[in-house]
Amino acid sequence: MYVIIAPLKIKEEFTERFIEEILLDAQGSVQHEPGCLRFDVIRDGDDPNKIWLYEVYEDEAAFQAHMQTPHFIRWRDTTEDWVAERPEGKAIGASVLWPPREDWDE
């Protein structure tokens, strides 16, 4: 499995609109991409303008396919000027160690 962890600091005046847009992308990913296993949108407890994305894909190819979907392209183009900073730099790709893949289907 391939995981994306992306912390994003959103410009305050765009935060609520950003959340609306990322929820559409997350829902589209889970509902229409067989390789997308999970797409969590998390709001930081200390900073309401910091959003964490946690995405799980079957493999890196499924993530690359995600970035070509109409819902992702729409989200990217709509929100690109709304992001103030990426606090830890860029999104990171990683692997899931636990739980094992077979447990995700339960």
Q: What amino acid occupies position 18? A: F
Domain 1-57+91-96: CATH architecture, name and number where available: 2-Layer Sandwich (3.30)
Kindly report the number of other CB atoms within 10 A of residue 100's CB atom: 9
Residue corresponding to tokens 């606090």: 87
Q: What is the pTM of this model?
A: 0.84
Contacts of 69 (CB under 8 A, 6+ apart): 28, 29, 32, 33
pLDDT in tens, the chain (106 residues): 888 888 899 999 999 999 999 999 999 999 999 999 999 999 999 999 999 999 999 999 999 999 999 999 999 999 999 999 765 545 667 777 777 777 766 5
Q: What is the DSSP letter of 32?
A: H
The C-alpha atoms of residue 44 and residue 25 are separated, in whole angstroms, by 19
Assess whether the previous peptide bond of 99 is cis (omega < 30° from 0): yes
